[in-house]
Structure 1
Amino acid sequence: MTVALMWEARAVAGRGEDLLAWARAQELTPPPLRRETFRAPQDRVLVITWWDAEFPADLPELPEPDGELVTRAVHRWRFESVTAD
C-alpha cells in the first residue's frame, strides 16, 4: 500500500524563502519513496512524502518549525493511494 503524508505551513510574512529552505533541509530517516516540496502565495510551503506502508504505520514526519518562522501550527494529513495513473 502507498501512504502519502502532507505537511503544510505558512511562514511569517516575508519569510517564505526561509521556511522553504528549512523544510528542504529536514531529513527523514528512513527516507520516503518520494518527496516533493511546493510553495504558494502567502508564504506557504507544502511537503508531500510517499511511503510503502500500511495506513496506520508509524512514519517519520517533518517537525514543527520554530515559532518565529511560522504564523500557526503546521497542518498535517495522511492519505492512502487508491489509483495511480
Structure 2
Amino acid sequence: MWEVRAAPGRLPDLLGWVRGTAVPELLGTPACLRVDVYDAADERVVVIARFAGTPARLPEPPAGLLRRPAHAWPFRHLSTYRATHP
C-alpha cells in the first residue's frame, strides 16, 4: 500500500503521474496481479497493488507534486470477503 498527499492544487497532476507512470510500471512487474487507485477529499492518493510473490515498490513521484513524502507499507494478503445480497 502506498499513500501520499498532493501539494495544494496538484491532485490532478499527481493522479496523472500515478496513472501514467506508477501503474504501468507496477503492472509491468511479472508478479503484479492488480493495482487499485483511490483518492480522497483531502488531496490524498492511495495505491494498493496485489502481487503473487515479492512486491515491487512504486517509483518516486516528482517532488513538486507532493505535500510530504510518500508512505508505503508491504502487506501480505490473507483473505477476501464479499457481500452476499438476496
On whether the aligned pair clears a TM of 0.5, the verdict is yes
Q: CA deviation at 1:30?
A: 1.3
- Give CA-to-partner distance per residue, 1:37-78, whole Å, 9 cap, x none: 01111211111000111xxx3x32212211111011101011
Q: Relative to total residues, which structure has the larger helix share, 1 or 2?
A: 2
TM-score (norm 2): 0.79
By percentage of residues, which structure has more strand?
1
User: With CA pairs under 8 Å and 6+ residues apart, which has the higher RCO, 1 or 2?
Assistant: 1
**Mean Cα deviation higher: 23-32 or 41-50:** 23-32
Structure-1-length-normalised TM-score: 0.79
> Paired residue for 1:46?
46
**Partner in structure 1 of residue 29 of structure 2:** 30
Aligned residues: 76
Across the aligned residues of Structure 1 and Structure 2, the Cα RMSD in angstroms comes to: 1.4
Stretch of structure 1 that moved more, 16-25 or 60-69: 60-69
Unaligned runs of 5+ in 2: 82-86
Query: 1:69 aligned to 2:68?
Result: no
Percent of aligned pairs with the same amino acid: 41
